[in-house]
Amino acid sequence: MKSIIIIGSGMGGLATGIYGQYNGFNTTIFEAHSLPGGQCTSWKRKGYVFDACLHTLNGFKPETKVNAFWQELGAMPCEMVERNEFVSAVLPDGTHFHNHYDIKKLEYHLKQLSPDDADVIDEYINGIKSFLGELDWFGISNFGTFWEKLSLVPFFLPKIKYFKYTMGSFGERFRHPFLHKAFPLIRYSVPDVPLFGYLAEHSSYIYGDSGWPRGGGMTLSKNMASRYQELGGTIRYRKKVVRILTENNRACGVELEDGTQHKADFVVSNADGRKTILEMLEGRYMNKKVSQYCEPNSEDNDIAFSVFVCLGVKRDLSSYPSFLIMFLDQPETIGGHNCDHLGMQIFGFDTSMAPSDRGVIKVELSGKPSYFSQLYQDETAYQAEKNKIAEQVIALLEKQFPGLREDIEVIDVSTLCTWERYMGGTQGHNNFPRKYKDLTDIRNVLDFIFGLNRIYTLPGLGNFFFAGQWVTSMGSLFSNALTGKTVVQKICKKSGVKFTES
């Protein structure tokens, strides 16, 4: 029986292990943390659950190919929690923009708010509608045969016009000052993300395939870890891999932080790509393309989701929107970043995230890696800044949630440094290779959707594969898990084994 060592128990690592077990390989996952899931994680504080990963999940509709995939991995069943709107935005004077999932309700609301923007609103609504229907285009694009994928061309051609926009560039077309300012932020406060991705996600929720899994990301991670172990796989927690062993330019095992070595026929890394290439493999298997992929973001560039301020509050939050953009009276510098709004998830819709009659608010802030890495050198200064950030955020939230301070039972602040310490990734969650500079370029869009230019291997190194976020260059849990299936297919082909999905 051939063996596979997997570095990291993120989505890609767990999926590699599960499909490896299905196909008769002896697999072992070495995980540096004490829990499975990698970046798909959450943690508990005094009965409150703080989720650092999920906003939404695809694959709830039983007849879709993505749902079948989650079933293979043991991630389902998960209960989908209903939400009424994608996001809400609010001005200091109380004016609201509700981005309802219900299309008729959304169109009426927007035209009441800004009659002068009827043309842009119509285009926006039609964009959402264009993705609606019974066609499982997302599943086909990922699991279909060549001819099935080719059959999607007529489906995508009318939508090409939406591919040229980001959320920011489309939002600039609104004449109403509030919509002009709020629309670019409705997809998790990131104006640079492609418009087509948001339109597809909105329609997917209407179709019943996209939503929030009760309990958050850790529900999926634990379900998959259980399936893996039921199949005979082994997860060794608190075992950090520091070196990938090679013989004759073939990966043959790993060395752990404690000095022990473990041999295998194949090695799959679901760990941070830069650390894998530059540290575990000492930069020995690189070419120009790989070198470019290893270039990190500038330490002085702002990165989304750099700071999470999580609050456990003694208050029923079920009447609030699941995601809220709260614009400030005036910009305020928080954690070195100039903020004109606070983007937050409000977990009143999932009662499993807090004790009875209580809720969780998670504020997501951008920041510069250099700002926190410098502070981190001085523990006292770093902790003082985290306390200051929490205090600033709470003071601002008081304007939207009067009396909130008295209701707060737990405060938890995490930064990019926290993320790297517990997840091992460089620059927090944003640790994928620098592949897509412009996602309004149709070539990059096709690559992004269909995975035409994904890096699974390294030049000159045999029996080694990547899985997870380093392959996909995106935060999608589904896409990252799918790389694990693809890796095992490649290993089966190399080993002369017929691949099976169960």
Which of the pair, 150 or 495, is modelled with greater confidence?
495
pLDDT tens column, 252-300: 999 999 999 999 999 999 999 999 999 999 999 999 888 888 877 666 6
Instruction: Determine, yes or no, domain membership for 54.
Output: no
Instruction: Determine, yes or no, domain membership for 47.
Output: no
Q: Are residues 340 and 413 in the same domain?
A: yes
Which of the pair, 141 or 117, is modelled with greater confidence?
117
Domain CATH code at residue 65: 3.50.50.60
Q: Which residues contact 32 (CB under 8 A, 6 or more apart)?
A: 8, 238, 239, 240, 241, 424
Instruction: Return the amino acid letter for 355.
Output: P
pLDDT at 348: 92
Q: Are residues 238 and 286 in the same domain?
A: yes
Strands 250-256 and 359-367 come out as unpaired
Q: Are residues 103 and 202 in the same domain?
A: yes
Task: Indicate whether 60 pLDDT > 80.
Answer: yes
Average pLDDT over residues 77-82: 86
pLDDT at 430: 64
CA dihedral 7, 292, 431, 371 (to 10 degrees): 130
pLDDT at 100: 94
Q: Are residues 248 and 289 in the same domain?
A: yes
Q: Are residues 228 and 266 in the same domain?
A: yes
Instruction: Determine, yes or no, domain membership for 53.
Output: no
Instruction: Determine, yes or no, domain membership for 91.
Output: no
Domain end point (choices 183, 210, 237): 210
- Count structural domains, the chain: 3
Nearest 5°: the CA angle 319, 214, 45 is 85
Output 474-478 pairs: Cβ under 8 A, ≥24 positions apart: 474/432, 474/448, 475/39, 475/429, 476/58, 477/11, 477/40, 477/53, 477/54, 477/57, 477/217, 477/220, 478/57, 478/58, 478/59, 478/66, 478/69, 478/70, 478/142
Which of the pair, 142 or 248, is modelled with greater confidence?
248
Q: How far apart are CA 347 and CA 343, in angstroms?
A: 13
Q: Are residues 417 and 307 in the same domain?
A: yes
DSSP string, 389-419: HHHHHHHHHTTTSTTHHHHEEEEEEE-HHHH
Joined together, the tokens standing for residue 278 give 């530059």
Task: Indicate whether 86 pLDDT > 90.
Answer: no
Give the residue among 418, 465, 432 at the shortest CA–CA distance from 15: 465
Mean of the per-residue pLDDT values for the chain? 91
Are 58 and 210 within 8 A, CB to CB? Answer: yes
pLDDT tens column, 321-365: 999 999 999 999 999 999 999 999 999 999 999 999 999 999 999
Instruction: Determine, yes or no, domain membership for 287.
Output: yes
Our separate counts of H helices and E strands in the chain read 21, 20
Q: Which residues contact 377 (CB under 8 A, 6 or more apart)?
A: none
Helix (H, G, I), strand (E, B) or coil at 443: helix
Q: Are residues 369 and 402 in the same domain?
A: yes
pLDDT tens column, 414-452: 998 888 888 877 766 666 676 555 555 555 566 655 556
Q: How far apart are CA 75 and CA 216, in angstroms?
A: 12
Are 209 and 78 within 8 A, CB to CB? Answer: no
Per mean pLDDT, which range of 353-362, 402-411, 465-474 is the poorest?
465-474
Domain end point (choices 423, 450, 472): 423
pLDDT tens column, 205-254: 998 899 899 999 899 999 999 999 999 999 999 999 999 999 999 999 99
Q: Are residues 181 and 107 in the same domain?
A: yes
Q: Are residues 310 and 271 in the same domain?
A: no
Average pLDDT over residues 67-93: 91
pLDDT at 82: 83
Q: Are residues 19 and 129 in the same domain?
A: no
Domain end point (choices 187, 210, 233): 210
Task: Indicate whether 171 pLDDT > 80.
Answer: yes
Q: Are residues 222 and 201 in the same domain?
A: no
Using a pLDDT cut of 90, give the percent of the chain over it.
68
Task: Indicate whether 181 pLDDT > 90.
Answer: yes
Instruction: Determine, yes or no, domain membership for 206.
Output: yes
Instruction: Determine, yes or no, domain membership for 144.
Output: yes
End-to-end CA distance of the chain: 18
* Residues spanned by the domain of 412: 303-423
Q: Are residues 345 and 265 in the same domain?
A: no
Instruction: Determine, yes or no, domain membership for 52.
Output: no
Using a pLDDT cut of 70, give the percent of the chain over it.
94
